[in-house]
A and B are shown apart, each in its own frame.
Chain A
Amino acid sequence: MGGAKTDLELIKNGKRIDGRKFDELRPIKIEVGVLKRADGSCFLEWGKNKVLAAVYGPRECFPRHTQNSYKAKLTYRYNMAPFSVDDRKRPGPDRRSTEISKVSREALEKVVFLEYFPRTAINVFTEVLQADAGTRCVALTAASVALADAGIPMRDIIVACAAGKVEDEIVLDLCQEEDNFGSADLPIAISPRTGQIHLMQMDGILDEEEFKKAFDMATKGCLEVHEMQKKALKEKYEKIGEVYGNE
């Protein structure tokens, strides 16, 4: 962010650098239950992003003294593989991953029925295998599906999406180049059923009008992605039903 200078033509003839319309999402593919060991999992491809989310729990909470007698302890770890970005990233958490982990966990805390599982832990892990802008939204969207796959009770399947400003235009779902050279980025996560906001961050500059426009656009994007989340979850089990026939 910060509107660095570039020779790239980010917007040309009403189309973006990757050919998309202003309110168009990148292509998305969602796979449910892809890991053997995890209790729930989801692999999400979103544009060139590739993210794997997994859930363990509810399980015994260690160390014991961190247990909460009234509800489950939710943890969320966002991590990037060293080869996921252009300049190899040293393994291990950095300040950015720590911040993303925190706000993502907070997005889920009021959605998961934590009070049903006192003294336990629910651990969410997301690994970015290939990054191309918007990874925190991809990761949280995948984590939501993984939680549902694990059978963890929730009020809704939350979904995340970002909108931003590129060369005076408000656009949906920034890609890498737009993120590098754009002037604002607004990632949000909502509960599609209620419209309530569970995650919101912004960096860059937007006036009130622009903010509203970006927020509306991101919300629409979220609802579109949510349909795909539901479809992926239902399809996994509907397929099994087809194979074994009907009465």
Chain B
Amino acid sequence: MKEIVVPGDKVDGKVESYVFKEGNSVYSMVLGVMDDREGYGRIVPLNGKYFPQVEDYVVGVVTDVKRGGYVLDINSPYDAFLASRRRYNNGEVIFAKVGDVSEVRNVSLTMDKQLYDGELMEIMAVKIPRVIGKKNSMVMLIKEKTKTDIYVGRNGRIWLKGGDIDKAKRAILKIEKEAHTDGLTDRITEFLK
């Protein structure tokens, strides 16, 4: 059974993210699961909005056209700006990388690619790492078994096209629900048969 931590709980000094230091001790900042596989301790938050980090890939929707670029809704309290010479319209779906996040959280995107047709779904951003899996193993498993084209955004948005889309969506919802439990990979493999 994985341990659940709450804000203010003391944790091992090795834990690095979602913690704060006070005196000589380290404490959890959030409600999360203590994941200590692979030797190092890690807190995985159980809830929370998406906060853009540099190098994240996100699925955004164009909401405004500006000079030299576009404003994208990236399912976050912060909008993102995409400087691009390509022509996009409001409502179009773009897969892009977070290039920079300023101190006041102005987010710049780069390496944009438009995603045509297809369906958009949203799940909790904190569960996305489980949907991706170690070295993309989980998302590749779903793609293989359903023959659906899938782009997973770290911001909780997933774009799907073709194949057994319904099954792919249900598998993703199942991962979202059971994300912090053990034995998930086996159950998903079973589900996709």
The answer to whether residues A151 and B48 also contact, given A237-B180, A246-B1 and a CB cut-off of 8 A, is yes
* Interface assignment of A120: CB less than 8 Å from any CB of chain B: yes
A157 beta carbon closer than 8 Å to chain B: yes
List residues 111-156 of chain A with CB under 8 A from any CB of chain B: 113, 117-120, 148-156
A241 touches B1 (CB 8 A): yes
Give CA–CA (A150, B20) in the complex, Å: 18
Q: Would B126 and A237 count as touching, CB distance under 8 A?
A: no
A153 to B126, CA, bound (A): 14
Determine how close the nearest CB of chain A comes to the CB of B61; give it in whole angstroms: 15
- A149 in contact with B47 (CB, 8 Å): yes
Closest to B28 in A: A153
Total A-B pairs, Cβ < 8 A: 105
| Interface hits, A155-208 → B, CB 8 Å | 155-157, 191-194
Nearest-CB distance from A31 to chain B (Å)? 15
Given A119-B105, A148-B31, A240-B181, A153:B77 Cβ within 8 A: no
Shortest Cβ gap from A158 to chain B (Å):
9
How far apart are the CA atoms of A234 and B22 in the complex, in Å? 23
In the assembled complex, which residues on chain A have CB atoms less than 8 Å from the CB atom of B51?
117
Minimum Cβ distance to chain A for residue B134 (Å): 15
CB of B77 within 8 A of CB of A59, answer yes
**Contact assessment for B126 and A246 in the assembled complex, using a CB-CB cutoff below 8 Å:** no
> Would you give the 0/1 interface string for B84-112, flagging 1 where the beta carbon is closer than 8 Å to chain A?
00000000000000000001110000000
Q: Is the beta-carbon distance between A193 and B30 smaller than 8 angstroms?
A: no
A148/B7 in contact, CB under 8 A: yes
In the complex, what residues of B have CB within 8 A of residue A246's CB?
A: 1, 181-183
Q: How many residues of A contact B (CB 8 A)?
A: 38
Say whether A151 contacts B77, CB under 8 Å. no
Q: Which of B45, B49, B180, B183 has the largest number of chain A CB atoms within 10 A?
A: B49
Query: B54-96 vs A: 1/0 string, CB under 8 Å?
Result: 0000000000000000000000011000000000000000000
Complex CA gap A152/B45 in Å reads 10
Which of chain A's residues have a CB closer than 8 A to the CB of B193? Answer: none
Chain B residue, CB-CB nearest to A238 = B4
Contacts of A57 in B (CB 8 A): 49, 77
* Given known A-B contacts A58-B49, A69-B104, A238-B1, A157 and B178 have beta carbons under 8 A apart: no
Are A157 and B7 in contact, with the CB atoms below 8 A? Answer: yes
Query: Which of chain A's residues have a CB closer than 8 A to the CB of B184?
Result: 244
Contact of A40 with B47 at beta-carbon distance under 8 Å, contacts A155-B7, A155-B8, A192-B8 already known: yes
Chain B residues whose C-beta falls within 8 Å of the C-beta of A153 in the assembled complex:
7, 18, 29-30
Closest Cβ of chain B to A103, distance in Å, is 21
Q: A151 touching B31 by the CB < 8 A rule?
A: yes
The verdict on A245 contacting chain B, using a C-beta distance below 8 Å, is yes
Q: Are B178 and A148 in contact (CB under 8 A)?
A: no
29 contacts between A and B (CB under 8 A): A39-B47, A40-B47, A57-B49, A58-B77, A113-B20, A117-B51, A117-B77, A119-B77, A120-B77, A148-B31, A150-B48, A152-B30, A154-B7, A154-B8, A155-B20, A157-B6, A191-B8, A194-B22, A233-B4, A234-B4, A237-B4, A237-B31, A238-B1, A240-B178, A241-B181, A244-B182, A244-B183, A245-B182, A246-B181
> Residues of B at under 8 Å CB distance from A?
1-2, 4, 6-8, 18, 20, 22, 27, 29-31, 33, 45-49, 51, 77-78, 103-105, 126, 177-178, 180-184, 187
A: which residues have CB within 8 A of B? 39-40, 57-60, 69-70, 113, 117-120, 148-157, 191-194, 230, 233-234, 237-238, 240-241, 244-247
